[in-house]
Amino acid sequence: MTTPDGPPSVSPNFTPRCASAWRSLSDPSSLSAWLLASSPSLIERWLPTLRFREDHQLPPPDGWAAWLFLGGRGAGKTFAGAAWMIEQAETGGRLALVGPTFHDVREVMIEGPSGLRALSPPDARPRWEASRRRLVWPNGATAYAFSAEDPDSLRGPQFHAAWADEFCAWPKPAETLAMLRFGLRLGEDPRLVVTSTPRPIRALKTLIAEPGVAMTRAGTSANAGNLAPAFLRTLETLYGGTRLAAQELDGIIVETDGGLFRAEDLARCRAAKPARLDRVVVAVDPPATATGDACGIVVVGRRDDRAFVLADETARGLSPAGWAAKAVAAARTWNADALVAEANQGGDMVRSVLAQADPPCRVKLVRASIGKRARAEPVAALYEQGRVLHCGAFVALEEELMALGSGDLEHSPDRADALVWAVSELMLGGRQTPRLRAL
């Protein structure tokens, strides 16, 4: 029996898979058979690359534009990102590596024990060209290194795929990610992998809420077999049960104190628009001035015991007649049975401008007698129960919801306010649920 040049791919978990011939080998049919048939020198040559990915380190099935891997320290995020990038390098092309700093890219993503060079087989190990800050594979594939400290350095270059590591530690996460995505424009299916220990930053919450993002979650314990036994034991003893452990070991997004809406709840509240709705309302949160806050306009429907967010028509800089016309147009488009408008910012004026726009349905004015957080609490509970679903991507709205009540918002939450009024009207009868108070 002839011994092949490399070990066979006996499992989809086998890493790396950059030698295409491995996948077609049928003789020997197993890794053990290959080991028995190979010389000690051949085994020694390939042994460093005989590693297996855990299930949580495998990319999700097709259908995603970005794969977000959130994990605790040592959960195998770097290994997963590097293994995926090695696969992308098989067919050549231009790749991007982005880390918090150039030092992180070089020492962790490229030269680290789970980095690109360590995981590459001997005959396909890329070389690092420090002067050009790039990694070059024997087949011509090239990965360029970028620091998240300089988002503008990503202007101009274009790529087939990218790996963004420790996203939550980036100095300018939102800006840098945007610049990176503008460069993902080569090939038929450019993709992005983001690996990070989570932190409750706005950029991460926005990314989670995006459609087309597949998410993997893994705590440190999921990779315990590849870690020093004392590592987990010591950290659990020191930090077990704390918020720090939840974030750094369990890979959980520890929300900012006071936050009502969780990123996880919003990420799973996607649904198609029902064929039939029992009711539809358009809620309006008017601005105090034409040049100040936006006018929140949100369309929500109800089917049985669930609410469906249909549209966010929020607009800024409109005159009262302008936002009234926009709200009425939304009511016509969605065949709404009511326009629900907050009247705290001039009740009679609100009713008057809406009436002048010739609404196709009744106008109901509501007044806020309690604070924003108290009004939002029962709506947040409905989200947690999975009873409010979003029929589309409403990134700006979801960002406001996650910041509502936490102090992590730089402007008035007009979209979120409008949504709270709409859901309250449909699901809570327009009234706040009973509350307890101390006497």
Q: Is the pTM of this model over 0.95?
A: no
Residues 405 and 280 occupy one common structural domain: yes
Instruction: State pLDDT tens for residues 40-56.
Output: 776 666 655 555 567 77
* Residue 277 or residue 259, greater confidence: 277
Residue 4 inside a domain? The answer is: no
Lowest mean pLDDT among 206-210, 329-333, 342-346, 365-369: 342-346
Residues 36 and 63 occupy one common structural domain: no
How much of the chain, in percent, has pLDDT values that exceed 70?
A: 81
Q: Cα angle vertex 96, ends 268, 392, to 5°?
A: 25
* Residue 189 or residue 200, greater confidence: 189
Average pLDDT, the chain: 83
Residues 186 and 315 occupy one common structural domain: no
How much of the chain, in percent, has pLDDT values that exceed 90?
A: 49
**Which burial class, exposed, middle or buried, applies to 189 when counting CB atoms under 10 A from its CB (0-12, 13-18, 19+)?**
exposed
DSSP state of 180: H
Residue 435 inside a domain? The answer is: no
The boundaries of the domain holding residue 337 are 266-427
Query: What DSSP line would sit under 244-287, residue for residue?
Result: HHHHHTS----PPTT--S-HHHHHT-B-PPPS--SEEEEEEE--
Residue 90 inside a domain? The answer is: yes
Instruction: State pLDDT tens for residues 110-147.
Output: 999 889 998 888 778 999 999 999 999 999 999 999 99
Evaluate if residue 29 carries a pLDDT over 60.
no
Report how far residue 417's alpha carbon sits from residue 385's, in angstroms, rounded to the nearest whole number.
20
343: left (phi > 0), else alpha (psi -120 to 50), else beta?
alpha
Q: Tokens 């609490």 identify what position?
A: 377
The sheet that has 94-99: what strands, in order across it? Answer: 127-129, 134-136, 142-147, 94-99, 161-165, 191-196, 66-71, 213-218
Last residue of a domain, one of 223, 254, 285: 254
Backbone torsions φ then ψ of 192, nearest 5 degrees:
-130, 135
* Dihedral angle, C-alpha 342, 344, 346, 350, nearest 10 °: 0
Q: Tokens 């029962």 identify what position?
A: 378
**CATH for 289:** 3.30.420.240
Residues 323 and 353 occupy one common structural domain: yes
Residues 36 and 106 occupy one common structural domain: no
Report how far residue 29's alpha carbon sits from residue 435's, in angstroms, rounded to the nearest whole number.
67
Last residue of a domain, one of 254, 274, 302: 254
Residues 277 and 242 occupy one common structural domain: no
Instruction: State pLDDT tens for residues 269-311.
Output: 989 999 999 999 999 999 876 666 789 999 999 999 999 999 9
* Residue 115 or residue 374, greater confidence: 115
Residues 275 and 232 occupy one common structural domain: no
Residue 3 inside a domain? The answer is: no
DSSP state of 314: -
For the chain, how far is it from start to end, CA to CA, in angstroms?
Answer: 87
Residues 104 and 149 occupy one common structural domain: yes
Backbone torsions φ then ψ of 21, nearest 5 degrees:
-65, -25
Residues 176 and 302 occupy one common structural domain: no
3 state DSSP class of 318: coil
Report how far residue 82's alpha carbon sits from residue 86's, in angstroms, rounded to the nearest whole number.
6
**CATH for 152:** 3.40.50.300
Report how far residue 13's alpha carbon sits from residue 33's, in angstroms, rounded to the nearest whole number.
18
Residues 218 and 249 occupy one common structural domain: yes
Residue 5 inside a domain? The answer is: no
Report how far residue 360's alpha carbon sits from residue 336's, in angstroms, rounded to the nearest whole number.
8
Residues 211 and 246 occupy one common structural domain: yes
The sheet that has 388-390: what strands, in order across it? Answer: 362-366, 338-342, 279-285, 296-303, 306-312, 388-390
Query: What DSSP line would sit under 365-403, residue for residue?
Result: EE---S-HHHHHHHHHHHHHTT-EEESS--HHHHHHHHH
What is the per-residue pLDDT for 5? Answer: 52
Could you give the number of structural domains in the chain?
A: 3
Evaluate if residue 430 carries a pLDDT over 60.
no
How far, in Å, are 11, 20, 30, 32, 45 from residue 27 at the CA level? 15, 15, 8, 12, 20
Residue 439 inside a domain? The answer is: no
CB neighbours (10 Å) of residue 349?
A: 13
Residue 260 inside a domain? The answer is: no
Residues 37 and 89 occupy one common structural domain: no
What is the per-residue pLDDT for 368? Answer: 81
What is the per-residue pLDDT for 15? Answer: 38
Q: Are 298 and 336 in contact (CB under 8 A)?
A: no
Residues 186-201, mean pLDDT to the nearest whole number: 92
Residues 308-330, mean pLDDT to the nearest whole number: 95
* Dihedral angle, C-alpha 104, 106, 111, 115, nearest 10 °: 60
What is the per-residue pLDDT for 407? Answer: 59
Report how far residue 395's alpha carbon sits from residue 211's, in angstroms, rounded to the nearest whole number.
9
For helices 202-209 and 395-403, the axis angle rounded to 10 degrees is: 130
Residue 432 inside a domain? The answer is: no
Which token pair is 199? 């932190």
What is the per-residue pLDDT for 7? Answer: 52
